[in-house]
């Protein structure tokens, strides 16, 4: 299949309206979208990404009124979080309505809903006229794409269209909160931090790895965010071995020599560049990537989470 590249959100939306799948930029990462109500189109997303069928998708809306058709009811905690953080990098999970096809939520009776704040995403979603389900626009298991070029590298020839935009701002996937019960559960860390959430909903709790709530978020069990290279986490550079074909990303220049180093001036810059750095290392055939862990405040907690997952084998 030929993948059309365009800067025009209206042209890109045309493919969604005709039952196609389209990659589009958001402030978190690039998404691969289809009309949520078109089960055949949604199935194409799983095929193109080679995504396991038990990994649910997030529905993207341009307006809060679009949420009503997707869910049974908006709980009190969800409406507070929506009010505080939409549009932005937060996904709320609610009980899904009968109109949402099984394939979109991997058979779960819940659906994640998010409203991106990138202007180009907003114009695209508005032109689609329906909520658009979208996971990250990468091949399953690879680092999420933060540029349209990274999308093309993984999915060129496998999807109908790529809406070309700027590199994403945040560079990590959205924070996900299960709002189906009275006591919301933080399922995935993102740039909206636990303390940001607690300012709005004080009794929110964190999910433990053996918590039954992880059953409700199958994506957390899958291998994720991994480059081909071996990822090694370091807290300071004292233990940094010098292997010939290695790279480093972090906040402080390592004392040992590496082939490729990225020294970031802030945790935010580190978060926004880490996935692209992983991809660049793979393009160059780097064997080991040393990643400096950061202090766990704000987006640092989400960054450490992604680094730990990338280091799992
Ligand atoms: P991705 O957009 O590729 O980051 O994938 C979406 C992730 O959001 C999934 O892997 C899940 O971890 C989470 N998610 C999406 N929908 C739900 C849901 N209905 N319940 C719980 N977690 C969800
Ligand atoms: Mg993903």
The pLDDT tens digits of the residues spanning 266-296 come to 999 999 999 999 999 999 999 999 999 999 9
**Confidence category of residue 163, pLDDT binned at 50, 70, 90:** very high
CATH of the domain at 305: 3.40.50.11030
pLDDT per position as a tens digit, 18-77: 999 999 999 999 999 999 999 999 999 999 999 999 999 999 999 999 999 999 999 999
CATH of the domain at 201: 3.90.870.10
**Confidence category of residue 217, pLDDT binned at 50, 70, 90:** low
**Rounded distance, CA 250 to CA 243, Å?**
17
SS3 category, 80: helix
pLDDT above 90 (res 131): yes
Shared-domain flag, residues 32 and 130: yes
Lowest-confidence range among 118-122, 153-157, 215-219, 271-275? 215-219
CA of 90 to the centre of ligand 1 (A): 12
Q: Kindly report each contact of residues 36-43 with a partner whose C-beta sits within 8 Å and lies 24 or more positions away, as own/partner.
A: 36/70, 36/100, 36/101, 36/104, 36/130, 36/131, 36/132, 36/133, 37/99, 37/100, 37/101, 37/130, 38/101, 39/101, 39/102, 39/103, 39/104, 41/16, 42/101, 42/103, 42/104, 42/133, 43/103
- The 10 Å Cβ neighbour count of residue 109 is 12
CA of 222 to the centre of ligand 1 (A): 11
pLDDT per position as a tens digit, 166-193: 999 999 999 999 999 989 999 999 999 9
Model pLDDT, residue 216: 62
pLDDT above 80 (res 215): no
- The 10 Å Cβ neighbour count of residue 307 is 22
Model pLDDT, residue 32: 98
* Nearest ligand, CA 32: 1
Q: What number does the ligand 1 atom closest to the CA of 110 have?
A: 19
pLDDT per position as a tens digit, 132-144: 999 999 999 899 9
CA of 5 to the centre of ligand 1 (A): 27
User: Among the three residues 167, 194, 216, which one is the final residue of a domain in this structure?
Assistant: 216
Model pLDDT, residue 213: 62
Total domains, the chain:
2
What DSSP string runs through 39-72? Answer: HHHHHHHHHHHT--TTS--EEE-SSGGGGTTTBS
pLDDT above 70 (res 218): no
Backbone angles phi, psi at 285, to 5 degrees: 70, 25
Shared-domain flag, residues 14 and 154: yes
Closest residue by CA, ligand 1 atom 23:
217
Contact 58, 104 (CB under 8 A): no
- Reading the block at residue 125, the tokens are 């979603």
User: Among the three residues 216, 242, 261, which one is the final residue of a domain in this structure?
Assistant: 216
**Confidence category of residue 223, pLDDT binned at 50, 70, 90:** low
Question: How many residues appear in the chain?
Answer: 313
Using a 10 angstrom Cβ sphere, with 0-12 exposed, 13-18 middle and 19 or more buried, the burial of residue 253 is exposed
**Cβ–ligand 1 contact at 58 (below 6 Å):** yes
What's the chain's average pLDDT?
A: 93
CA of 136 to the centre of ligand 2 (A): 4
**Rounded distance, CA 266 to CA 251, Å?**
7
Shared-domain flag, residues 52 and 151: yes
Closest residue by CA, ligand 1 atom 5:
135
Model pLDDT, residue 145: 98
Model pLDDT, residue 186: 96
Pocket test for ligand 1, best of 52, 56, 174, 187 (most atoms within 8 A of CB): 56
Give the predicted TM-score (pTM) of the model: 0.95
Q: What number does the ligand 1 atom closest to the CA of 51 have?
A: 3
Shared-domain flag, residues 19 and 113: yes
SS3 category, 296: coil
**Rounded distance, CA 110 to CA 100, Å?**
10
Shared-domain flag, residues 235 and 201: no
Model pLDDT, residue 241: 67
Closest residue by CA, ligand 1 atom 9:
219
**Rounded distance, CA 135 to CA 42, Å?**
11
Q: What is the domain extent for residue 282?
A: 230-311
**Cβ–ligand 1 contact at 174 (below 6 Å):** no
pLDDT per position as a tens digit, 66-108: 999 999 999 999 999 999 999 999 999 999 999 999 999 999 9
């Amino acid at each position: 299949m030929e993948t059309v590249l365009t800067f025009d959100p209206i042209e890109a939306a045309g493919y969604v309206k005709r039952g196609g799948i389209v990659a589009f930029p958001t402030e978190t990462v690039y998404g691969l979208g289809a009309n949520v109500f078109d089960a055949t189109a949604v199935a194409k997303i799983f095929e193109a990404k080679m995504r396991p069928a038990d990994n649910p998708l997030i529905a993207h809306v341009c307006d809060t009124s679009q949420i009503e058709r997707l869910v049974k009811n908006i709980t009190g905690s969800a409406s507070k979080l929506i009010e505080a953080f939409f549009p932005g990098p937060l996904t709320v999970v609610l009980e899904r309505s009968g109109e949402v096809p099984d394939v979109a939520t991997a058979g779960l009776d819940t659906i994640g809903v998010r409203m991106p704040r990138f202007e180009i995403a907003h114009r695209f979603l508005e032109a689609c006229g329906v909520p658009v389900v979208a996971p990250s626009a990468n091949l399953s298991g690879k680092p999420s794409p933060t540029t349209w070029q990274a999308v093309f590298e993984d999915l060129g020839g496998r999807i109908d269209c790529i809406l070309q935009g700027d590199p994403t701002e945040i560079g990590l996937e959205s924070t996900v909160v299960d709002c189906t019960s009275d006591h919301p559960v933080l399922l995935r860390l993102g740039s909206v931090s636990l303390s940001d959430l607690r300012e709005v909903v004080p009794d929110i709790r964190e999910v433990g790895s053996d918590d039954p709530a992880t059953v409700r978020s199958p994506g957390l069990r899958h291998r994720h965010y991994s480059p081909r290279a071996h990822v090694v986490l370091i807290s300071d550079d004292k233990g940094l071995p010098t292997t010939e074909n290695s790279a480093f990303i972090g906040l402080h220049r390592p004392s040992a020599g590496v082939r490729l180093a990225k020294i970031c001036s802030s945790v935010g810059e580190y978060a926004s560049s880490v996935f692209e750095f992983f991809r660049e290392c793979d393009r160059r055939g780097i064997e080991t990537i040393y990643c400096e862990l950061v202090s766990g405040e704000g987006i640092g907690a989400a960054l450490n989470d992604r680094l730990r997952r990338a280091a799992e084998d």
